[in-house]
Structures are given as structure tokens and as C-alpha cells.
Amino acid sequence: MDAELRFVNVISDAQMKQHRKSDLSTFEYTYKAEITNIHRLTEMENLYRIQIIDPEERRQFFFKPGQFLMLELPGIGEAPFSISSSPARHGDVELCIRKAGNLTNFLSRVGRGTHVGIRGPLGTSFPMEQMHGQNILLIAGGLGLAPLRSAIAYTQDNRSRFNSVDIIYGAKDPSQLLFTYLYDVWRADDIELSIIVDKPDTSWKGPTGLVTKIIEKMFAERDVSFYKNTYAIVCGPPVMFKFVCNMLNQKDIPMQKMFVSLERRMHCGMGKCCRCNVGSTYTCLKGPVFDYWTVMNLKEAI
């Protein structure tokens, strides 16, 4: 026989174009996208509007609220960010990004027109369809409003499918409030918006304290029947969502009707690098969105 082994090429050119989870080429496939606008929200956070350049790819890009993507700036780095915009906008997404390290600081210095790479969408989502016909509590602390914004946009897009929609949002001080330009729009869409800051400045007229204060007020105002038909999405630091979820559980909202989003270090977003593991659960595959019951049962989660 011919003793030379044949080289096996695992991906033929024909397969390069598909993006199913089971395709080999999906792993490092990057949509090329352009930063079409940068909106300075606070001193630390910018809202980047990012559009997939190829119109067909842009249309084909479907995501659900709560999912994230990997944003890459060649040579600088790649990191996970929750998609902050309405799923109805497909591959024309908004990301609300805080300056935190290498990539995020670099991003704060680039201009419109910069080309970036996008992998995704990745991870689990808030089960919005399951929530149809119900009340929703959307509770955010700090940057937690970033992933929540996509769920808010979904309720706006489908307002008739939900009963009451409440947003309860807490920030450290008024200068750190995100998406201030949208508050009136939310209210116009019949969303009850309550904002609280921990450290008020002289011009602050709203309530001061933690989100729990608003929740207590809500508890005093609404009767038990409200909570029977209510879902909650709670995004913020672990101490915050733990406290809030336990409070809501006192009103008998089942833990499986409360959703949180976990943040962990991620280097692949596809269940390979293991950096995101909580106990032995991959946050990038089984999360970042978990119901609270699952989180309670994860070792190392809180």
C-alpha cells in the first residue's frame, strides 16, 4: 500500500458559511461590524451602537434579551458584553460598556467608523415569551441595567402582551445613572419607573437609599394577588440580587420565576476555556441568565 497518510482537512470551503452551534467553523467566526455611534452615558460608561456590516448577516443575526456577545478589537482584546438593545433590531446592536481594563479603556478612545469583530450571540436568555400575560418586575443595580435594557426594550416592543411592567433601578449617585434619555420614553410606554440613588447630590429630588427601599414601598402598596402572576428579572452585583430575590421570595414569587445574570471571567464564550465556571457549571453555556433556584443550588455562585 501507499504508506503516506492522507491529510484530512476538517473544514471544506463550502462549510465555512454556516453558523450552527455544531459547525466547526462557528468557533472562531467573526462578524465584521462597525461602530456607528458612541454615546457618552456617564464618565465611566459609553453606549456603542454597533452594526454588522454585511446586510444579509445583519438580518440573520437573531438574539434574545439577556444574551451576550464577544466583542473583539484585533490586537487589543476580546471580551463578553450583554446586548443592551431591542432584539427586533437584529445585528444593529447597542452595548453599554464600562471602562474597566485593557479593551474597554481602548474602546473609550476609538471613534465612529471603527471596525470591530462580533462572535455570538451566546448564552441563555430571559424567557420573555413565558412571561406573556404576567406582571414583570425589572430590577437593576448599577451596570445591571445594561443586560436589563434589552428586556425592557422587548416589553416596549410587545407592551400588550404584559400586564404591569415595573423598573426599579438603583445607582450609587445621580451622575452614574445610565440611559437617562430614555426614562420619559419608558414612562410613555406605561412602564412604572422608580429610581433611587444611594448618595444624592444637591439637585437630586428622588428617593435615596437602596433598591430594597423601593421594593418595601411596593410591598406596602400591592396586594398578594399581584405577586401570584409576577416574574422578576434582577440584574446587579451578587449581594444585591441575592438580597432582592430573597425579599421577593417572601412574597411567594417562586425562585423559578426570578432570573438573574451572572458575570464571570470569559475567554471563549463557548464552553471551552473553563474560565467562567461556577463550581462545575459553565456560565457561558448554562448562563449567564439563570433562574434563582438554579443559582441557589450552584456551589460558589454567591
Partner 1 sequence: MIFRVFDKDELKKLFNVMVSANKVIGPVEIGRDRDNKPIYAFNEVKSFDSVRLDYTTTKLPAKRYFLPFKENLATFSLDADDWQKKVDYNIDRPFIFFGLHACDINALNKLDKVLLGSIYPMPYYAAKRENMFIIGLDCTPQPYCFCRSMGADTALHGFDMFITDVGDLYFVEILSDTAFNFLKNIKTAEPVEDDHIQYMKVVSEKNKKFTTHVDTTDLTKILDMEFQSDVWKQWGEQCLACGTCSKVCPTCYCYGVEETIDINLHGAKKTKFLYSCNLIDFAEVAGGHNFRPERHSRLKYRYYHKHRGFVEAYEESLCVGCGRCGEACLAGITVPEVIASVRGEAG
The residue ranges that bind partner 1 (CB under 8 A) are 1-11, 21-28, 30, 32, 72-79, 100-101, 104, 113-115, 117, 263-265, 267-268, 270-275, 277-281, 285, 299-300
- DSSP secondary structure of 154-204: HHHHTGGG-S-EEEEEEESSGGG---GGGHHHHHHTTEEEEEEESS--TT-
123: left (phi over 0), alpha (psi -120 to 50) or beta: left
Contacted entry of ligand FES, ligand FAD, partner 1, none for residue 288, CB cut-off 5 to 8 Å set by kind: ligand FAD
Q: Which stretch binds ligand FAD (CB under 6 A): 33-41, 79-87, 111-119, 159-167?
A: 79-87
- Residue 131 in the binding site for ligand FES (CB under 6 A): no
What stretch of H or E contains 146? helix 145-157
- Is the bond leading into 121 cis (omega within 30 degrees of zero)? yes
Kindly indicate which of the ranges 31-39, 72-80, 127-135, 213-221 contains the residues binding ligand FAD, using the contact rule CB under 6 A: 72-80
Q: Which three cell numbers stand for residue 88?
A: 427586533
Max Cα–Cα distance, the chain, nearest Å: 87
Cβ nearer to partner 1, comparing 217 with 275: 275
Cell digits of residue 148: 436589563
Looking at beta carbons only, is 87 or 288 nearer to ligand FAD?
A: 288
Residue 58 is a binding residue for ligand FAD (CB under 6 A): no
For position 274 contacting ligand FES by CB under 6 A, the verdict is: yes
Does the footprint of ligand FAD cover residue 98 (CB under 6 A)? yes
CB 128 within 8 A of CB 67: no
What is the C-alpha to C-alpha distance for residues 183 and 152, in angstroms, rounded to an integer? Answer: 11
At a CB cut-off of 8 Å and minimum separation 6, what does 118 contact?
30, 31, 32, 33, 50, 52, 69, 70, 71, 72, 93
Contact between 119 and ligand FAD by CB under 6 A: the answer reads no
Strand partners, 198: none
282 binds ligand FES (CB under 6 A): yes
Interactions with ligand FAD, residue window 254-273 (CB under 6 A) = 263-267
Binding positions for ligand FES, 210-269, rule CB under 6 A: 266-269
Decide which of ligand FES, partner 1, ligand FAD, none touches 146; Cβ closer than 5 to 8 Å per partner kind. Answer: ligand FAD
Q: Is 97 in the site for ligand FAD (CB under 6 A)?
A: yes
Footprint on this chain of ligand FES (rule: CB under 6 A): 266-269, 271-276, 282-284
Footprint on this chain of ligand FAD (rule: CB under 6 A): 68, 77-82, 96-98, 100-104, 143, 146, 263-267, 288
